[in-house]
């Protein structure tokens, strides 16, 4: 039986990433807002663009704490941020959706999202993803490391030094693999299932631009930052 052990420096790396991940969170909780009131499609679209804009700002701050990220070529840093922003947003949305809530709240939240203005065709893939993330019952270390692995995807468009990104990603993959073995000894497939979610995440993200343009509102207004990072408008 292979003795899996997390080294001192790997523990330090996880600590840095998890603390940054928890520090850089969306200021106010969108789920609470959605549970409080029923909003119009216009209000929901505005809420999404506000939440997503602040999440991008938070993502930029978070990446500064990923060991080695700031040593990457600066243009590659931008390419990684741009390439992972939508996936990071859906991953965060899935984590918000899967958070333990009082009885019946998740159903209300799902209902509010179903009626938010997003067109019907995207509901199944989106909620399938959210529920498959929820079923994993990830601990916060796994959430933080999975987001970091998503950001450090070497084959994003316009990345020049893919090897440098691959080396950073492998460091995170190695410690996440060990953590999964230690955290879920009864489920040797857990790490593979975790990474399998990233494939589902990439597919869901392909729908994103269409989800926005088909939102049932007359005028689809975006912030300058979202125009930049979401390739819209
Ligand atoms: O605000 C949100 N997500 C934020 C984003 C930044 C990080 C925190 C979560 C939005 C809601 C906005 C208002 C109308 C209802 C959806 N949302 C989505 C979502 C996100 C993007 C799209 C289109 O691409 C469709 C749906 N899934 C959610 C799951 C749970 C709770 C909110 C969730």
Please tell me the pTM assigned to this model: 0.95
- Give the relative orientation of helices 123-136 and 190-206 as an angle to the nearest 10 degrees: 160
Q: What is the atom index within ligand 1 of the atom nearest the CA of 122? A: 25
> What does the pLDDT average to over 58-85?
97
Ligand 1 and 66: CB distance under 6 A: no
Its ipTM equals 0.98
Tell me the pLDDT tens digit for each residue of 113-131. 999 999 999 999 999 999 9
Ligand 1 and 97: CB distance under 6 A: yes
Nearest partner of 38 among 95, 133, 113, judged by Cα: 113
Ligand 1 and 118: CB distance under 6 A: yes
Question: In 3-state terms, what secondary structure has residue 123?
Answer: helix
Ligand 1 and 18: CB distance under 6 A: no
> What spacing in Å lies between the alpha carbon of 194 and ligand 1's midpoint?
21
């Amino acid at each position: 039986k292979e003795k899996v052990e997390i080294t001192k420096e790997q523990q330090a790396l996880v600590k840095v990433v998890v603390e940054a991940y928890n520090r850089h969170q969306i200021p106010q909780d969108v789920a609470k807002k959605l549970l409080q009131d029923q909003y119009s499609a216009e209000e929901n679209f505005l809420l999404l663009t506000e939440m997503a804009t602040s999440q991008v700002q938070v993502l930029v701050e978070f990446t500064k704490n990923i060991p080695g990220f700031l040593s990457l070529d600066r243009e590659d840093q931008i390419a990684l941020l741009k390439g992972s922003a939508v996936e990071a947003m859906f991953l965060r949305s899935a984590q918000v959706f899967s958070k333990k809530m009082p009885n019946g709240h998740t159903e209300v939240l799902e209902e509010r999202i179903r009626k938010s203005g997003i067109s019907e065709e995207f509901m199944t893939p989106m909620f399938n993803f959210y529920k498959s993330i929820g079923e994993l019952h990830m601990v916060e270390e796994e959430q933080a490391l999975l987001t970091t692995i998503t950001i450090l995807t070497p084959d994003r468009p316009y990345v020049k030094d893919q090897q440098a990104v691959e080396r950073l990603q492998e460091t995170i993959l190695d410690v996440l693999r060990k953590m999964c073995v230690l955290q879920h000894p009864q489920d040797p497939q857990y790490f593979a299932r975790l990474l399998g979610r990233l494939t589902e995440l990439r597919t869901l993200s392909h729908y994103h631009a269409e989800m926005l343009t088909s939102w049932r509102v007359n005028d689809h207004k975006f912030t300058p930052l979202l125009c930049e990072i979401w390739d819209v408008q």
